[in-house]
Structure 1
Amino acid sequence: MSNPNRIQHGVSGDEAAALLADLVAIDSQNPPRREKPIAEFIVDRLDSWGIDARLFERPDAERPQVIAEVGEGDPGAGTLILNGHVDVVPPGDAEQWTHDPFGGEREGNRVYGRGASDMKGGVAAGMLALRAAHESGVDGRVVLTCAMGEETAEPGTETMLEEVSGDWGIVLEPTQLVVDTVGKGLAWYEVEVRGDAAHASRPGLGRNVLDALFAFQEPIDTYREEIAEREHPLIGESLCTPTMLEAGTKENVIPDYAKLTFDRRFLPSESVEGLDEEMETLFDGLREEGFEVSIERTRTYEAAEIDPDHEIATVVRRHAHDVAGIETDPHGKDAATDQRNFVNDAGIPAIIWGPGVSEQSHTVDEWAPVDALVDGVEVLCRTIGELCVE
């Protein structure tokens, strides 16, 4: 089952850049949940290429997803699922940008705009590779899934994988064509602490939650140091970072309420249940001092990994090296992705791999390289030829 040169794409830099620019120009911010127009665009474009594509209305009919597939479905050949998300984070203050966040402007080798790297470049590569597979013909199947809600940890990819199945997956996040076989998990925690208010001229009559939190710095630091000793060879250490603090009602009122937010990055060896227990235990000291403490995990992306030498990783790594000279050492991503839905939920081995630049994600004047996009299409075509053609 190997014919890597069978799938021919003929994609030029100009065509790839134009498609990416079209995708970037569609405002698909989430929040506020604007995925529908770009999903409709993708279906229309794939339909114009003669590809069987449809809107998938779960889990939210107002924010449909895309499922498209090509191939004969021969059980003797494989099924490869290409996965991208179409939502993008808001651009922030547009005055900070030197390029229109939704202009899709091209300068030389770069296409600028929100989502260019994260991850409309990956979506464009998947669309163009799917077209090539359709035109060249495959014995197995190639499926493209375009998800809603990835930026807000919604079950977009998860629900599509209840509808489609495959032998391998490629989550087209920006990696500059480096194969990542593991991704860190992410959990956000909101810790609410309640004390007693009083006039600031008589602080002893109240219980100051800010004083309590500032005095509690040492246990938090100790916890962070302890979990940093948990390490993964490809994605580094476990992290817990306080990122937001809200407290106080007025300058002369002892604060009786504070909300502290933590960004918790975790490894595949750590369970979400274990994280919850650790966070609860961490604040027992404040409870013993008489403060009321409640803790809520508000968002979760589970960690996931496959063997660095799994077939899908080995094949894509080899073609990325042959096409673009990309390193072949095992590698991981220190951020969370929908790889977790493939590996943890659907039991499908999947890598994180795409043409965008990871460091450009969520930045001002975000851009994606055109040459890597074209190389990415070539790598995908070779991978399809090897895995899905007998």
Structure 2
Amino acid sequence: MPVDPVRLTADLIRCNSVTPAEGGALVLLERLLTEGGFTCTRVDRGGIANLFARWGARGANRSFGFNGHTDVVPVGDAAAWTHDPFGGEIVDGVLWGRGATDMKSGVAAFAAAALDFVRETPPDGAVILAITGDEEGDAEDGTTALLDWMAANGERMTHCLVGEPTCPNEMGEMMKIGRRGSMTCWFTAEGVQGHSAYPHRARNPMSALVKLLARLEEKPLDEGTAHFDASTLAITTIDCGNPATNVIPARGTATVNIRFNDAHSGASLTDWLAGHARAVEAETGVRITMRVQISGESFLTPPGPLSDLIARAVEAETGRRPELSTSGGTSDARFVKDHCPVVEFGLVGKTMHQVDERVEVAQIEQLKTIYSRILREYFA
């Protein structure tokens, strides 16, 4: 009997798996996949639960992988929800709950497609599911832990599809063949405190920060590249915690976030930021230090056989040829790209992370048919 992806999504939503809690979601999937003939291994690390599942022989010539996550973001104000965020209720053809879009539906769709596929038409090769409980958090012990474990145990995906929501408004509109890099920089400026009536006796760290931030925003980082939009820099905080209006503070902080394309690397942008900080430091006499966190480098899976396969399947099931995009934030594809070619395709993502997150039941069913077609064509 075919696996119902809608029922499976609802069951997963009922698992309260707000990062880093497992909530029973991976236990449910492990039981279902084991019953379906998959060899399952829990790959837990750093208090994070992860699941590796393989049907077929280890080291097979061809192994198609799916990657996704069962952890979800917090619900916020539960009283603001129309339906219980962990109820998995279906009303008028719509499934409600945290994770309905991002991305328990995607996991359910590819798990259901894989289970039906290996039962009905056992392939000459392997089907791998790499499912993490740490995508919405720091992502240090999630997909990276799975990939580390795979490398240590001779497991490999030849190609991988990440089931994140990728479509802006309609099913089939868009797939991701890459992602921009992401980095955050925290600046700390150390000056000399003084009376605001006598600024010449102080050294104002806030003036130095304002000057630095103005320099960073003065010109665009670039105009975009062949497959990427222009890189962006956003000032996200500036503060000194000063309760007095007549005191120049001794210390101030500011934070910027950069989303960058393949014209840059995290290292090159770090050098660029440091250069501007040193210049402002020399001009103002205010000491500026910085701390950088690079969440992921930009990457691209060039258009080719994998993206063509996904696009054909999407078009066959939806009537739309998906746009090949690199827009949006980051995803775990940024880790998978070091293991094998990877693309992303999934649901319409309009309500992800929102109060009243929800998805049309028909979209989940359609997503399963797309994933099923991809498997059939890949192993044909």
Q: Do both proteins adopt the same fold according to a TM-score greater than 0.5, normalized to the shorter chain?
A: yes
For the structure 1 residues 218 and 173, does the alpha-carbon distance in structure 2 shift closer, same or farther, using more than 3 Å as the test?
same
Matches within 5 A, 1:167-206: 167-176=158-167, 177=172, 178-200=174-196, 202-206=198-202
Matches within 5 A, 1:299-338: 299-308=294-303, 310-338=304-332
Contact 2:233 2:259 survives alignment (8 Å) = yes
Matches within 5 A, 1:1-390: 10-11=2-3, 15-30=4-19, 33-35=20-22, 37-57=24-44, 59-60=45-46, 62-72=47-57, 75-76=60-61, 78-136=62-120, 137-151=122-136, 152-162=138-148, 163=150, 164-176=155-167, 177=172, 178-200=174-196, 202-222=198-218, 225-227=219-221, 229-252=222-245, 253-288=247-282, 289-308=284-303, 310-343=304-337, 345-346=338-339, 348-355=340-347, 357-389=348-380
Change beyond 3 A, Cα 1:72–1:230: same
Kept in 1: contact 2:205–2:252 (CA 8 A): yes
SS in 2 for 1:130: helix
Residue type at the aligned position of 1:128 = A
Q: TM-score scaled to structure 2, two decimals?
A: 0.88
1:144 CA drift (Å): 0.4
Instruction: Tell me, yes or no, if the aligned pair for 1:71 and 1:141 is still in contact at 8 Å.
Output: yes
Offset from partner CA, 1:28-79 (integer Å, 9 cap, x none): 222xx2136322232123234443222112x32x222001111356845x21
User: Which deviates more, 80-89 or 243-252?
Assistant: 243-252
Code of the residue aligned with 2:298 in structure 1: it is: A
Distance 1:10-1:239 versus aligned 2 partners, 3 A rule:
same
Q: Within 1, Cα distance between the matches of 2:165 and 2:9?
A: 14
TM-score by length of 1: 0.86
1: CA distance, partners of 2:21 / 2:13? 13
Alpha-carbon distance between aligned partners in 2 of 1:255 and 1:46, rounded to the nearest angstrom: 60
Give the Cα separation in 2 of the matches to 1:360 and 1:159: 29
Counterpart-to-counterpart distance in 2, 1:330 and 1:53 = 33
Deviation sequence 1:290-331 (CA, Å, 0-9, x none): 1121111234122211112x2111111101101112224433
Identity %: 26
Q: Deviations over 1:174-214 (max 9, x none)?
A: 01343221111111221112222234565544323223333
CA distance in structure 2 between the partners assigned to 1:100 and 1:193 by the alignment: 46
Letter matched to residue 153 of structure 1: A
Is the Cα–Cα contact under 8 Å of residues 302 and 336 in structure 1 kept in the other structure?
no
Q: Distance in 1 between matches of 2:255 and 2:356?
A: 28
> Is contact 2:5-2:368 (8 Å) kept?
no
Q: Measured at CA, do residues 73 and 138 of structure 1 come closer, stay the same or move farther in structure 2, by a change above 3 Å?
A: farther
Quick one: structure 1 residues 202 and 101, their matched pair in 2 at CA, closer, same or farther if it must change by over 3 Å?
A: farther
Aligned to 1:3: none
Q: Answer 1 or 2: higher relative contact order, Cα 8 Å, separation at least 6.
A: 1
Aligned pair in 2 of structure 1 residues 91, 268: CA closer, same or farther (>3 Å)? farther
Q: How many angstroms apart in 2 are the aligned matches of 1:26 and 1:197?
A: 53
Shift of 1:271: 1.2
Looking at structure 1, the residues matched to 135 and 86 of structure 2 have their Cα atoms a distance apart, in angstroms, of 19
Q: Which runs of 5+ in 1 are unaligned?
A: 1-8
Task: Tell me, in whole angstroms, the C-alpha distance in 2 between the residues paired with 1:263 and 1:107.
Answer: 39
Matched residue SS, 1:340: helix
- Contact 1:186/1:302 (<8 A) preserved: yes
